[in-house]
Amino acid sequence: MAEPRWLRTFDPRPEATAQLVCFPYAGGSASAFRSWSQLLPSSVELVAVQYPGRQDRLTDPMPTALAALADEIAESLAGRLHRPTAFFGHSMGATVAFETARRLRPRYPSPLTRLFVSASRAPFARRPVGQDTLGDDDLRAYVRSLDKADVAVLDDEEVWRLVLPTLRLDFDLIQTYEYVPGAPLACPVTAIAGDRDETATPTEAARWAELTVGPFETRVLPGGHFYFDDTLPELARVLGDWETGLERAHC
């Protein structure tokens, strides 16, 4: 079945009245969100997307286009949209979450009550640059420049060689992505940026406002591209506020 392949719930909360679906960054996996649910209200169940090509899906092929990836995720979520749902996507995951949200647009009423986009430029501000051409050392240096606290993967040569193919597939996916204009979302959108993130500044994050006719806000947290390494409790409060004051606007 599609659901076990694509979705992971590390802290099942069958009585929760809402769910937060989290989309990983390039090279990331569902397990990146394993501890997050402990910081969320008990009324929210966290569901993490597991992309192909990593961990327990190591042999599953990654789609060659981001649109195809969003198609499959939207299909896998179809049976889980029985309660109010928010999406959270970080970096590449923000674009994947947005494209998945667009595919829920024909559903009425849609259960999607908010889209959180983190550390990402608006999709229309991206320009496809073709497949990744960085050498291994240059790619490692770029990832290190993103200010992620956990650098064990970068410093351990054996682990780095293991994750490198997946990271390249993800980079190819986002670098070949081309935004296709369409109807805007109608749900609220919250864009979150680190105040020291040079890859997606707060000013650039604010352009997500152009992609919804619903309410929009920008939240700026201290840190770089992976600001939540140091400010996860603060981010969890932002995410928890969504459920506490759940709007009735829908995508």
Q: Which residues contact 64 (CB under 8 A, 6 or more apart)?
A: 172, 173
Residue 128 burial by Cβ neighbours in a 10 Å radius (0-12, 13-18, 19+): exposed
Question: Of residues 29, 91, 118, 120, which has the active-site annotation?
Answer: 91
Q: What are phi and psi of 175, to 5 degrees?
A: -80, -20
Question: Of residues 37, 90, 225, 250, which has the active-site annotation?
Answer: 225
Q: CA 164 to CA 142: how far, in whole Å?
A: 13
Residue at 56: amino acid letter: D
Q: Which residues contact 90 (CB under 8 A, 6 or more apart)?
A: 22, 23, 24, 25, 28, 118, 119, 120, 228
225 flagged as catalytic: yes
110 flagged as catalytic: no
Q: What are phi and psi of 104, to 5 degrees?
A: -85, -10
Which residue matches tokens 């989309």?
23
* Nearest to 225, CA basis, from 248, 206, 200: 200
Q: What are phi and psi of 185, to 5 degrees?
A: -70, 160
| Start-to-end C-alpha separation, the chain | 27
Q: CA 189 to CA 16: how far, in whole Å?
A: 22
Beta 44-49 vs 7-8: how paired, if at all?
antiparallel
- Active-site positions? 91, 225
